[in-house]
Amino acid sequence: MYIPVEGFMYPNEVELQWSVLIVLYPFITGLVAGAFILASLERVFRVEAVKPTYRLALLTALAFLLVAPLPLQLHLGHPERSFEMYLTPHRSSAMAMFGFVYLWYLMAVLLLEIWLDYRRDIVVKSQTSTGIMRFIYRVLTLGSNVISERSLRIDERLGYFITLIGIPSAFLLHGYVGFIFGSVKANPWWSSPLMPIVFIFSAMVSGIAAVMLLYMITTRLRGKEIDIRCLDKIAQYLMYTFVIDFSLEMLDLLQRIYEADESFRSLDFMVHTRLWTSQVIVQILLGTVTPIALLGLTQILKLTEKTRKRVYALAGCLTVMGIFAMRWNVVIGGQLFSKSFLGYTTYKMGFATREGLLTAIALMILPFGILWLLVKLLPPWPDASSISASGEFEQAEPVRSLV
């Protein structure tokens, strides 16, 4: 395959090492971390307004977290050797810790929190459902049907504690992804102590926007009324985090422009040519400034509910697109220039190849499929939790408010 090169690249640099799949990876883990942080708002910071999205956010986080390692696996030259990361993790490698951070987050935080939160529902369903579903729910109960008031209260306390651990864990999961890039001293486009922080805030932005959109879509699909108080609150949080995220990114940019070190001329040229559309137009103008302005308008102007919903939907879509563009510009942009600062290469994305566009699209659809299954298995709707509960189970309902 012929790859157009401008100027001089070291001869081994012409081919890009990390493809669109590695763009997906931080995008997906970002959604996970962001969705989880939104969920914990309700639990830890007692923001009652966003309660309708609590369980949906948790399931969204789980659906995306299950998909997160797939682009990495598909990208590896030897996926069958990936377990070596658990067997002989290299302590000095930022990447080696990924396996452990991922497992910790999946097993100790997300699955546990969901399990504790849903346990009453699971036990009820293991007794009311039939066939294969009954078997699945029975396995999920781990063979214990204890849902006494005290046991549920213990679950609630434990769940609260896990959420407390979960917030720094979510930061770790994604901040650490930022560190994988930020710690590469050979690459001035990546090497920045701000990278993990920028990644965390952009993760929160994308996760909050995604859950907001999912909440709007699922509520509409179910023919229910959107809780506008909840939506207003989410949009408000989205705007605040976005402003912080944007400030951090601009700080990074300003520092680079003012310092203008040896790499600046090369990177500046790249931003003005190869990255102009994806960075300046899509990421900054359409994906950041526009949604912040739109969200700002809803705070200033007194808009009708209908208009607000539309503005939120538009801002949400632009935000998710903008954050995806940000991941693209970091991962792909960081490989387009030569480490000699004398030339540029081109990224040619395959179509139906292992690391091609088709795979990327499939990987982006997959979490929604998983989410659909999870929603079927563990309905997250507030109105669904009390259904199918017969007599003795109903008394457990007020437990949540006890804590």
| Binding site residues, other proteins, CB under 8 A | 8-13, 15, 17-18, 72, 75-78, 81-96, 98, 107, 112, 115, 119, 141-144, 146, 148, 150-151, 154, 158, 180, 184-187, 335, 338-342
Report in angstroms how near the CB of residue 393 gets to other proteins at its nearest: 15
Whole-number Å distance between alpha carbons of 140 and 215:
26
Q: Please report how close the Cβ of residue 36 comes to other proteins at its closest, in angstroms.
A: 20
Residue 307: count other Cβ atoms within 10 Å of its Cβ.
13
Of residues 217 and 342, the one with the C-beta less far from other proteins:
342
As beta bridge partners, residue 344 has 6, 337
Least separation in angstroms between residue 82's CB and other proteins is 6
Cα separation of 197 and 176, whole Å? Answer: 9
Query: CA-to-CA distance for 102 and 81, rounded, in angstroms?
Result: 17
For the bound state, the minimum distance from the C-beta of residue 93 to other proteins, rounded and expressed in Å, comes to 4
Closer to other proteins by Cβ: residue 5 or 243: 5
Closer residue to other proteins (CB): 12 or 390: 12
Structure tokens at 202: 């952009």
DSSP states of 175-186 as a string? HHHHHHHHT-TT
- Cβ of residue 17: shortest distance to other proteins, in angstroms? 4
Task: Tokens 């007020």: give the residue.
Answer: 398
- Of the two residues 95 and 289, which places its CB atom closer to other proteins in the complex? 95
Which of 33, 63, 38, 34 minimizes the C-alpha distance to 363? Answer: 63
Among 62, 73, 32, CA closest to 174: 32
In the complex, the smallest distance separating the C-beta of residue 138 from other proteins, rounded to whole angstroms, is 13
207, 184 Cβ separation under 8 angstroms:
no
Distance of closest approach, residue 343 Cβ to other proteins, in angstroms: 8
19 versus 279: smaller Cβ distance to other proteins: 19
Q: Which is nearer to other proteins, 147 or 295 (CB)?
A: 147
Give the residue with the Cβ less far from other proteins, 114 or 315: 114
> Nearer Cβ to other proteins, position 146 or 314?
146
For the bound state, the minimum distance from the C-beta of residue 52 to other proteins, rounded and expressed in Å, comes to: 27
The Cα 207–Cα 304 span in angstroms is 26
CA distances from 275 to 27, 67, 296, 342, 373 (A): 18, 28, 28, 17, 38
Dihedral (C-alpha) 174, 176, 177, 179: value to the nearest 10 degrees? 140
How many other β-carbons are positioned within 10 Å of the β-carbon of residue 229? 12
